[in-house]
Chain A
Amino acid sequence: MISKEFDRAGLPNAHINAFMSIAQSVGANRIVIGGDFTEPTGNSLLPPDREEAYRVRILEKALEAMMTDVKEPTIFNVRKDDSEEGV
């Protein structure tokens, strides 16, 4: 909702979210699916240096989303951690 108001004002923004279904039904335009509900921008179960890499990846994905021309609600996925490399 906040994301859509920013869009209405012409400010590119990305919504970092944990739930695909909520993001799709609310319909923010640039949606980044990150960590889980309690920590959408990270994953405290990872060891600190890998977690930091993950957090950076989420923010980079958000930046990528904001630099992408989208026409409608679009989901950008982030790899959960290095074990998913190449996935």
Chain B
Amino acid sequence: MTLKAVHYINQFYAGIGGEEMAHEGLHSYNGAKGPGLGLEKEWDGRMAIVKTLACGDNFFNLEENFAAVKDRLLEEVKDAAPDVIVAGPAFNAGRYGVACGKFVDLIRNELGIPGVTAMFPANPGVELYVRDNYIVATPETAVGMRKALPSLAALALKLAKGEKIGTAGAEGYLPTGKRVNELDEKPAAQRAVKMLLDKLYGRPYRTEVPARTLDKVPPAPPIADPSRLKFAIVTTGGLVPKGNQDKLKQYASVTYGTYPLDPATWDSGHYETIHA
């Protein structure tokens, strides 16, 4: 049985027009259009695009438009009942990349249908959506279409079949930051020693835990006028008003608290530390 996909593209790839048509609303087409034809070639009969949804990049990215068109998007996808949704490839087109990410994220959230999109790693759509969505890495421009389609098509097919998706490195998508525990047949000590020996002998090796790189930020200019200053104190020492009514987390916090400084309250009757 042929698997079904719904493909999202922008106004340009749908043949509606270029930048001047970026405000264009949602169009729905039966079957594949533009790069979708290339995807179908990769699938070689195993999957087909039953519906193509195209939208202007400017249109899709305006909140009020998105809110208005959201229900229709969901209807169109539900009506097609696809096994997977595909968006792009957007390469380094920022508005298109963000729209693609937004689309797969919406369908994943609201309908639970797996999706995958593709774009250049520096596309702003990546930062916004990579944590919860599959984004295949592509070259920077559409000149790289022939290179982009095979990985996108392959991952879409796996998702449609419900197959287990492997690591980012193996499947060609951008790291989501999620870590999954796996059982390896070799214990860590053996793997670590092998990695060290490979490194010492100049053989290729692959780290299991990439070290985080830290960016350099230009310093803010110094205080210009010291006669009028307003200070804030920021602490990660877990200092909170006694009782921690804002329920700040001890670790991996996703919130922060802001509290006024009143010297009359600077004692252990009013504050406590929740630092582990």
Q: Enumerate chain A interface residues (CB-CB to B < 8 A).
A: 2, 4-13, 25-27, 29-30, 63, 66-72
Q: A7 near B219 (CB under 8 angstroms)?
A: yes
Nearest chain A residue, comparing its CB with the CB of B237:
A40
Interface of A is mostly: loop
| Residue in B214, B216, B220, B226 whose CB lies within 8 Å of A11 | B220
Within the complex, the shortest CB–CB distance from B24 to chain A, in Å, comes to: 36
Supply 6 further A-B pairs (C-beta < 8 A) apart from A27-B216, A27-B217, A66-B222.
Answer: A6-B220, A7-B217, A8-B217, A26-B214, A29-B219, A69-B222
Interface centre among B218, B220, B222, B236 (most CB of A within 10 A): B220
| Residue in A4, A9, A27, A67 whose CB lies within 8 Å of B223 | A67
Q: A13 near B216 (CB under 8 angstroms)?
A: no
Nearest chain A residue, comparing its CB with the CB of B229:
A63
**Does any Cβ of A come within 8 Å of B221's Cβ?**
yes
Complex CA distance for A30 and B226, rounded to whole angstroms: 17
Nearest chain B residue, comparing its CB with the CB of A30:
B219
Within the complex, the shortest CB–CB distance from B123 to chain A, in Å, comes to: 21
Q: A66 near B223 (CB under 8 angstroms)?
A: yes
Chain B residue numbers with a CB within 8 Å of A69 are 221-222
Q: B220 near A13 (CB under 8 angstroms)?
A: yes
Nearest chain B residue, comparing its CB with the CB of A70:
B219
Within the complex, the shortest CB–CB distance from B214 to chain A, in Å, comes to: 6
Per the CB 8 Å criterion, the residue count for chain B at the interface is 13
Complex CA distance for A18 and B226, rounded to whole angstroms: 26
Within the complex, the shortest CB–CB distance from B221 to chain A, in Å, comes to: 7
Chain B residue numbers with a CB within 8 Å of A68 are 222
| Residue in B217, B221, B226, B236 whose CB lies within 8 Å of A4 | B217
Within the complex, the shortest CB–CB distance from B215 to chain A, in Å, comes to: 8
Interface positions, chain B 201-255, Cβ under 8 Å from A, are 214-223, 226, 234, 236
Complex CA distance for A32 and B39, rounded to whole angstroms: 57
A-B contact pairs, 25 of them (CB 8 A): A2-B234, A2-B236, A4-B215, A7-B218, A7-B219, A9-B220, A10-B220, A11-B220, A12-B222, A13-B234, A26-B214, A27-B214, A27-B216, A29-B217, A29-B220, A30-B219, A63-B223, A66-B223, A67-B222, A67-B226, A69-B221, A69-B222, A70-B222, A72-B216, A72-B219
Complex CA distance for A71 and B217, rounded to whole angstroms: 10
Complex CA distance for A31 and B172, rounded to whole angstroms: 40
